[in-house]
Amino acid sequence: MNTPVLNETLDLAAQFPGLSADTRPGYSGWLVPAEKLTEFATFARDTLGYDLLSSVTAVDYLEQNLFEVVYHAYKTAGGPGLEFKVQIPRQDPASLPSVTPIWPGADFQEREAYDLFGIRFENHPDLRRILMWEGFEGYPMRKDWKEAFYEDETKPFKSRWPEGKHSLAETRAAFGDNVSFPAGFDPEKWTPTDPEELLYASLRKYSAEVKDGIKTDHVLVNMGPQHPSTHGVFRAVAMLDGETVVSLKPVMGYLHRNHEKIGERNTFLQNMPYTDRLDYFNSMYNNWGYSLAVEKLMGIVVPERAEYLRVIMGELSRIQNHLILFGMLWNDLGAYFTPALYAFEERELILDIFEAVSGTRMMCNYHRFGGVVRDVDAASLQKIKGLVFERLPRRVEEMNRLLSENEIFISRMKGIGYLSLEDSIAYSVTGPNLRAAGIPYDIRRAQPYGIYDRFEFDIPVRHNSDLLDRYLIRMDEIQQSLRILRQALQQLPEGPVLTGKPQYQVKVPAGEAYGRVEAPKGELGYYVVSNGKGNPYRYHIRTPSFVNITSLEKMCVGTKIADFVTILGMVDIVLGELDR
């Protein structure tokens, strides 16, 4: 049920004094004392070889008066991961050492934990709020924090039945009696300070310099939040020297809806349709990651046919995700909508299948714990076969002819946005962008989930780690997805698609689980903690967009500001899962 450990990690306590195994029932991994964290992280990375830090998150154990910071590290060579935790007293200010100097990919994730839990990470280079704005009062993910229109700790809310009492939310006072103000706040005397002061200060460390006797100044440029090429309400603040980017900070959270808090109010099953709304291009894959985590906790097995259906839907959504990325990338480059609409045609056909199978085009809500909601009918199966065996190979080839050799395109892509192999790993970049840097790291192979170990497919790798390779690798991946689909369709067995009876209130034993899948955009991980009740105690999502964007500054520094648009496009972010 729990993450298996490597042999070498079994006697880890002997190798590293001060370490103790997490013995709570249903839990696994290691407890590290806060003062030894830096030492242990270095040991894990350099001696044990866990070079890829997947997830950093926190859990608020209100009753035990503890904050627990949970780390999941993996090896890019593959295999199971290392889970370790640091427990600190639940007080203000709570603090522990930052691991950002060791794994720079922890940067935004630690900022997120600081933002939502109020845990300070010492030695973090730029510890600011990330999803909420500066000046927001309180830390939303703490168990004693209540949201606007708070009704009850957990769903189902009691007022819905048997008495009804329908009311519209806007007729109530937004915060009711749970509103709180910062200490010493007096509305009479309060004058607003510039909320962006900290952000600009972090950019201003690059001061003006004198070059060739001409006094030049750096210019601050805001891209977004309403910019046609920022893929939603995303904003980047760049410090420019002429046209060259000197430093750049992404600003996010405009679409933040505290998905994780909603998730903790929900029952386990109620979260399923909410996961659709993370990366709304790949709801099938979002469902998969979440059901994988909960199935690990419940210890249930998925029937054969359901496993195949999951693979089929997952790979179809990977294909349409990559096609859309190409289309949108060309939009960013200024080739308005011809490639995008060509891509949309194929996507339409795939979404038609999703609609027939799951009921909705984008918000599929298809997976259930222990299977999928319904079987695919014969007509839809025929449609899928028609697409996979006839149309898609032809159309992907056409897309390739249309785009890949275009000289203007190549000159905009080649050698731009370089991120070295070492940096890619250090910044926890996953998915196609990591493979374009030369590392064949794909969770479908590195730690197979579902039935991916049964299929023959290659993990495409390219080595230049520039935009062109990141584009080409996705072309390769579509081919591999088609290959998997062909095998899956040929092998698809008959049988049930759900283990047990459908139930809306599942019993999930206490414990923790980290379910991760290779989503089209990178590693998608769900960290779920159950305390045996009907609702998840902690529900955290490690989204590929959010972690991959950490390396944005690194890729942009030194390039022209016009290239920022392409670099951002190729990171393949979607705001639904970036801001959550």
Partner 1 sequence: MYGQGLLKGLSVTLKRFIATYTDDFKWWGKRYFNADGIAHRSSKDANGIFTVQYPEEKLPTPEEFRYVPFLVYDEGENGEKNIRCTSCGICAKACPPQCIWIVRSSDPNTGRPVPQPAEFYIDADICMNCGFCAEYCPFDAIKMDHDYEIASYGRNVLNKERLMKPASYYAQIRPLNNAREETARAEKAAAKAAKAQA
List interacting residues with partner 1 (CB under 8 A). 155-157, 159-166, 168, 266, 269-274, 338, 342, 345, 348-349, 352, 355-360, 363, 365, 373-374, 383, 386-387, 390-391, 398, 401-410, 502-505
Report the interhelical angle of 304-333 vs 392-403 (nearest 10°).
20
DSSP 215-256: E---EEEEE-SS-TTSSSS-EEEEEEETTEEEEEEEE--TT-
CA dist., res. 495 & res. 454, Å (int): 18
Residue in the block written with tokens 């007096």:
186
Neighbours of 394 (CB within 10 A): 9
Contact 549, 542 (CB under 8 A): no
Residue 83 beta carbon to partner 1: minimum distance, rounded to whole angstroms: 29
Residue 363 beta carbon to partner 1: minimum distance, rounded to whole angstroms: 7
Contact 53, 106 (CB under 8 A): yes
Residue in the block written with tokens 């259906």:
309
Contact 571, 244 (CB under 8 A): no
- Residue number with CB closer to partner 1 (243 or 398): 398
- Residue number with CB closer to partner 1 (202 or 406): 406
Residue 344 beta carbon to partner 1: minimum distance, rounded to whole angstroms: 8
Residue 462, phi-psi category: left (phi > 0), alpha (psi -120 to 50), beta (remainder):
beta
- CA distances for 561 relative to 244, 310, 332, angstroms: 6, 41, 13
Q: What are phi and psi of 13, to 5 degrees?
A: -60, -35
Residue 315 beta carbon to partner 1: minimum distance, rounded to whole angstroms: 17
CA dist., res. 533 & res. 140, Å (int): 21
- Residue number with CB closer to partner 1 (196 or 398): 398
Residue 461 beta carbon to partner 1: minimum distance, rounded to whole angstroms: 24
- Residue number with CB closer to partner 1 (133 or 389): 389
- Residue number with CB closer to partner 1 (112 or 469): 469
- Going by C-beta distance under 8 Å and a sequence separation of 6 or more, which residues neighbour residue 219? 239, 240, 241
- Residue number with CB closer to partner 1 (162 or 184): 162
- The residues pairing with 516 across neighbouring beta strands, listed in sequence order, are 525
Beta strand 522-530 pairing with 371-372: unpaired
Residue 394 beta carbon to partner 1: minimum distance, rounded to whole angstroms: 10
Residue 146 beta carbon to partner 1: minimum distance, rounded to whole angstroms: 16
Residue 22 beta carbon to partner 1: minimum distance, rounded to whole angstroms: 32
DSSP 33-59: -GGGHHHHHHHHHHTS---EEEEEEEE
Q: What's 516's DSSP letter?
A: E
- Residue number with CB closer to partner 1 (345 or 453): 345
Specify the 3-state DSSP secondary structure of 56: strand
- Residue number with CB closer to partner 1 (14 or 169): 169
Residue 380 beta carbon to partner 1: minimum distance, rounded to whole angstroms: 8
Amino acid identity for residue 519 in this structure: A
Residue 152 beta carbon to partner 1: minimum distance, rounded to whole angstroms: 9
CA dist., res. 165 & res. 233, Å (int): 37
Among candidate residues 518, 521, 433, the one with its CA nearest the CA of residue 469: 433
CA dist., res. 44 & res. 19, Å (int): 12
Q: Cα-atom radius of gyration of the chain, to the nearest Å? A: 24
- Residue number with CB closer to partner 1 (257 or 454): 257
Contact 278, 541 (CB under 8 A): yes
Residue 575 beta carbon to partner 1: minimum distance, rounded to whole angstroms: 18
CA dist., res. 357 & res. 415, Å (int): 42
Residue 137 beta carbon to partner 1: minimum distance, rounded to whole angstroms: 26
